[in-house]
């Protein structure tokens, strides 16, 4: 099974880059798995289609900010967990789930299995290349959780 582990975020916005940092950790831990490809990016909207096309399985790692979450906590989600509108406002405003649905309708070979790991963040707006201490400390454990789910 051709698998992509894809970290999303912006590594100069404190905790927003945690998805990328987790994927970098996973890549170090999983050097002996040629069937797994690792990517990182700061893409969204329809641009993500080119990144995920052709894979059988996608493991997406990104940040999330909820009202009651604890920084560094990880949530395992699926596309079905998101209630998103099925209309297009503009190409840059398309959420991930809508992009995948549209990709399938347009004939892109989209992954059949999609796992989303969302890491609770504390600060995703301050300019810094470093995550907050709680989020940084959680990265190895999150990588372990993802490996167990593969």
Percentage of the residues of the chain whose pLDDT score is greater than 90: 75
Kindly state the average pLDDT of the residues 47-58: 95
Confidence of residue 128 (pLDDT cuts 50, 70, 90): very high
How many structural domains compose the chain? 1
Residue whose C-alpha is closest to residue 119's, from 102, 99, 105, 139: 139
Q: What is the mean pLDDT of the chain?
A: 91
Q: Residue 91: what pLDDT?
A: 47
Side-chain half-sphere exposure of 135, counting CA atoms within 13 A: 27
Read off the pTM: 0.90
Percentage of the residues of the chain whose pLDDT score is greater than 70: 93
Q: What is the pLDDT of residues 57-116, one digit of tens each?
A: 999 999 999 999 999 999 999 888 876 555 545 445 678 888 999 999 999 999 999 999
Output the domain CATH number for residue 8: 3.40.50.1450
Q: Residue 86: what pLDDT?
A: 52
Q: Examine the pLDDT at 47 and tell me if it is beyond 50.
A: yes
Q: Examine the pLDDT at 5 and tell me if it is beyond 70.
A: yes
Q: Examine the pLDDT at 124 and tell me if it is beyond 90.
A: yes
Per-residue burial over 50-62, b if 16 or more Cβ lie within 10 Å, else e, is ebbeebebbbbbb
The larger pLDDT score, comparing residue 89 to residue 138, is at: 138
Residue whose C-alpha is closest to residue 24's, from 148, 104, 122, 142: 142
Kindly state the average pLDDT of the residues 50-63: 96
Domain extent, residue 144, equals 3-149
Residue whose C-alpha is closest to residue 14's, from 140, 132, 139, 133: 132
Identify whether the C-beta of residue 26 lies closer than 8 Å to the C-beta of residue 5: yes
């Amino acid at each position: 099974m051709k698998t992509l582990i894809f970290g999303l975020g912006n590594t100069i916005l404190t905790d927003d880059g945690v998805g990328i940092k987790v994927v970098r950790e996973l890549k170090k831990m999983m050097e002996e798995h040629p069937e797994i490809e690792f990517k990182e990016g700061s893409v969204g909207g329809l641009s993500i289609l080119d990144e995920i096309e052709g894979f059988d399985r996608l493991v997406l790692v990104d940040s999330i900010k909820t009202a009651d979450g604890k920084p560094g906590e990880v949530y395992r989600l699926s596309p079905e967990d998101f209630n998103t509108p099925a209309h297009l406002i503009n190409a840059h405003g398309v959420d991930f789930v809508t992009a995948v649905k549209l990709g399938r309708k347009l004939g892109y070979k989209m992954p059949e299995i999609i796992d989303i790991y969302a890491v609770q963040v504390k600060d995703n707006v301050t300019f810094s290349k470093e995550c907050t201490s709680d989020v940084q400390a959680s990265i190895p454990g999150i990588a372990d959780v993802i490996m167990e789910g593969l």
